[in-house]
Amino acid sequence: MSRFPELTSGSRPVGVVSFAQYDNVRREGAHNEVEMLMPVVAEVFGSIGITKDDVGFICSGSTDYLVGGPFSFVTALDAVGVWPPRAESHVEMDGAWALYEAWVLLQEGEIDAALVYCFGRSSPGDLSEILALQLDPYYLAPLWPDPTSLAALQAQALIDSGKATEADFAAVASRSRRAALSNPKAQVAYDRTTEELLAEDYEVTPLRRHALPPLTDGAAAVVLAAGEKAYEWCERPAFITGIDHRIETHSIGARDLTVSPSTTLAGEKAGVGHKGVDVAELHAPYAHQELILAEALALDEGVSRNPSGGALAANPMMSAGLIRIGESAKAIWSGQAGRAVAHATSGPCLQQNLVCVLEGV
Amino acid sequence: MSEREPVTMMAAPIHLDYVFTAGVAQSKNLHGLEEGKFIGQRCPKCKKVYTLSRGSCPTDGVPTDEIVELPNTGTVTTYCVVNVPFAGQSIEIPYICAQILLDGANLSFMGLIQEMPTDEVRMGMRVEAVWVEPDELGPTMASVKYFRPNGEPDADYETYKEYL
Amino acid sequence: MSERCAVIGVGQTVAKAKREDVSIAGLVREAALAALDDAGLTFADIDAVVIGKAPDMFEGVMMPELYLAPALGAVGKPMFRVHTAGSVGGSTAIVAAHLVASGVHERVLTVAFEKQSDSDAMWALSVPQPFSAPLLAGAGGYFAPIIRAYMHRSGAPGDVGMMVAVKDRLHALKNPYAHLHLPDISLKMVEESIMLWDPLHYLESCPSSDGAAAMVIGSERAVGAATAETGRPPAWIHGMAMRSEPTMFAGRDQVNPQASRDCAADLYRQAGITNPRKDFDMAEVYVPFSWYEPMWLESLGFCDEGDGWKLTQSGATSMIENGDIPWNCSGGVLSSNPIGASGMLRFLESALQVRGLAGEHQVADARRALGQAYGGGSQFFAMWVVGAERP
Print the domain residue range for B28: 23-163
Per-residue model confidence (pLDDT) at position B93: 86
Per-residue model confidence (pLDDT) at position B2: 64
Per-residue model confidence (pLDDT) at position B9: 86
Computed over its alpha carbons, how large is the radius of gyration of chain B?
A: 20
Q: Which residues on B lie below 8 Å from A125 (Cβ)?
A: 16-19
Per-residue model confidence (pLDDT) at position C219: 98
Q: Is the confidence at residue C312, as pLDDT, over 80?
A: yes
Per-residue model confidence (pLDDT) at position B91: 81
Indicate the burial class of A348 (C-beta count within 10 angstroms; 0-12, 13-18, 19 or more).
buried
In a domain, B134, yes or no: yes
From the list C155, C159, C82, C158, the residue with the least C-alpha distance to C113 is C82
Q: Does A77 touch chain C (CB under 8 A)?
A: yes
* Alpha carbons C15 and A162: distance in angstroms, whole number: 52
In a domain, C105, yes or no: yes
Which of A 50-109 lie inside 8 A of B, CB atoms?
52, 65, 67-68, 75, 78-83
In a domain, C294, yes or no: yes
Per-residue model confidence (pLDDT) at position B11: 87
Proportion of chain B in helix, strand, coil states, percent, rounded to 5: 15, 30, 50
Chains in contact with chain B (at least 3 beta-carbon pairs closer than 8 A):
A, C
A6-20, A85-99, C132-146: which range is least confident on average? C132-146
Determine if the peptide bond prior to C199 is cis (ω within 30°): yes
Q: Is the confidence at residue C68, as pLDDT, over 60?
A: yes
Mean pLDDT of B133-146: 93
* Alpha carbons C65 and B61: distance in angstroms, whole number: 32
CA angle centred on A300, ends A299 and A302, rounded to 5°: 120
Residues C70 and C191 in one domain: no
Mutate to test the interface with A, among C20, C83, C258, C384 (most CBs of A within 10 A): C83
Per-residue model confidence (pLDDT) at position C367: 98
CB contact under 8 A, B164 and C149: yes
Proportion of chain A in helix, strand, coil states, percent, rounded to 5: 40, 20, 40
In a domain, C129, yes or no: no
CB contact under 8 A, A85 and C263: yes
- Beta strand C107-115 with C48-52 is parallel
Q: Does B103 touch chain A (CB under 8 A)?
A: no
Q: Is the confidence at residue A186, as pLDDT, over 90?
A: yes
CA distance B110 to chain C (A): 7
CATH number at residue A218: 3.40.47.10
Q: Which residues on B lie below 8 Å from A85 (Cβ)?
A: none
In a domain, B8, yes or no: no
Mean pLDDT of A17-24: 98
CB contact under 8 A, C134 and B142: yes
CB contact under 8 A, C248 and B111: no
In a domain, C126, yes or no: no
Residues C214 and C192 in one domain: no
DSSP letters for A34-84: HHHHHHHHHHHHHTTT--GGG-SEEEEE--HHHHTSTTHHHHHGGGT---S
Mean pLDDT of A52-70: 95
From the list C2, C5, C1, the residue with the least C-alpha distance to C220 is C5
Residues 6+ apart with CB under 8 A from A66: A72, A120, A121, A122, A124, A125, A127, A130, A317, A318
Query: What are the beta bridge partners of residue A91?
Result: A61, C82
Closest Cβ opposite residue A81 in set B16, B26, B61: B61
Q: Is the confidence at residue B60, as pLDDT, over 70?
A: yes
DSSP letters for C170-226: HHHTT-TT-S---TT--HHHHHHS-EEEETEEGGGB----EEEEEEEEEEHHHHHHH
* Alpha carbons A158 and C317: distance in angstroms, whole number: 63
Per-residue model confidence (pLDDT) at position C126: 61
Q: Which residues on A lie below 8 Å from B14 (Cβ)?
A: 133
Print the domain residue range for C321: 136-206+239-387
Reported confidence tier of residue B52, pLDDT bands at 50, 70, 90: confident
Q: Does C70 touch chain A (CB under 8 A)?
A: yes
Residues C196 and C221 in one domain: no
Q: Does A29 touch chain B (CB under 8 A)?
A: yes
Q: Is the confidence at residue A4, as pLDDT, over 80?
A: yes
pLDDT tens profile C177-228: 999 999 999 999 999 999 988 899 999 999 999 999 999 999 999 999 999 9
| Count of Cβ atoms closer than 10 Å to residue B157 Cβ | 13
Per-residue model confidence (pLDDT) at position C58: 87
DSSP letters for C150-176: HHHHHT--TTHHHHHHHHHHHHHTT-T
CA angle centred on C187, ends C182 and C188, rounded to 5°: 95
Side-chain half-sphere exposure of A311, counting CA atoms within 13 A: 28
Position with higher pLDDT, B105 vs C128: B105
Per-residue model confidence (pLDDT) at position A69: 84
* Alpha carbons C150 and A93: distance in angstroms, whole number: 37
Mean pLDDT of C358-374: 98
Amino acid sitting at position C328: N
Q: Is the ipTM value over 0.95, yes or no?
A: yes
pLDDT tens profile C80-102: 999 998 899 999 999 999 999 99
**Long-range contact list for A188-192, CB < 8 A, 24+ apart?**
A188/A214, A188/A309, A188/A312, A188/A313, A188/A314, A189/A309, A189/A313
CA distance C20 to chain B (A): 5
Query: What are the beta bridge partners of residue B52?
Result: none
Which of C 34-93 lie inside 8 A of B, CB atoms?
60
Number of domains in chain A: 1
Reported confidence tier of residue B87, pLDDT bands at 50, 70, 90: low
Question: For chain C, what percent of residues have pLDDT higher than 90?
Answer: 88
Mean pLDDT of A100-112: 97
E strand intervals along chain A: 14-21, 57-61, 88-91, 113-121, 202-204, 207-208, 217-226, 238-247, 279-281, 304-305, 339-346, 352-359
CB contact under 8 A, A71 and C101: no
Q: Which helix (H) or strand (E) holds A175?
A: helix A166-180
Q: Is the confidence at residue C389, as pLDDT, over 70?
A: yes
CB contact under 8 A, C254 and B164: yes
Residues C105 and C244 in one domain: no
Per-residue model confidence (pLDDT) at position C117: 86
Amino acid sitting at position C273: I
Number of domains in chain C: 2
Per-residue model confidence (pLDDT) at position C136: 62
Q: Which residues on C lie below 8 Å from A122 (Cβ)?
A: none
**Contact between A247 and C51 (Cβ < 8 Å):** no
pLDDT tens profile B10-38: 888 888 999 989 999 999 999 999 999 99
Number of domains in chain B: 1
Residues C383 and C291 in one domain: yes
Q: Does B17 touch chain A (CB under 8 A)?
A: yes
CA distance C163 to chain B (A): 20
Indicate the burial class of A143 (C-beta count within 10 angstroms; 0-12, 13-18, 19 or more).
exposed
CB contact under 8 A, B142 and C148: no
Reported confidence tier of residue B84, pLDDT bands at 50, 70, 90: confident
CB contact under 8 A, C243 and A74: no
* Alpha carbons C261 and C264: distance in angstroms, whole number: 5
Q: Does B25 touch chain A (CB under 8 A)?
A: yes
Closest Cβ opposite residue C67 in set A69, A70, A137: A137
Residues C86 and C151 in one domain: no
Per-residue model confidence (pLDDT) at position A71: 85
Q: Is the confidence at residue A191, as pLDDT, over 80?
A: yes
Position with higher pLDDT, A80 vs B82: A80
CB contact under 8 A, C251 and B26: no
Q: Does A35 touch chain B (CB under 8 A)?
A: yes
Q: Which residues on B lie below 8 Å from C131 (Cβ)?
A: 20, 22, 26, 29-30, 140-141
Mean pLDDT of A149-163: 98
Question: For chain A, what percent of residues have pLDDT higher than 70?
Answer: 100
Residues C368 and C268 in one domain: yes
Residues 6+ apart with CB under 8 A from A232: A225
CATH number at residue C96: 3.40.47.10
Q: Is the confidence at residue C133, as pLDDT, over 70?
A: no
* Alpha carbons C290 and C311: distance in angstroms, whole number: 14
Print the domain residue range for A142: 1-361
Residues C56 and C166 in one domain: no
Give pTM, 2 decimals: 0.97
3-class secondary structure, A220 = strand
**Contact between C237 and C384 (Cβ < 8 Å):** yes
DSSP letters for C241-291: EEEE--SS-TT--SSS-HHHHHHHHHHHHHHT-S-HHHH-SEEE---SBTT
Per-residue model confidence (pLDDT) at position C122: 62
* Alpha carbons C295 and C292: distance in angstroms, whole number: 5
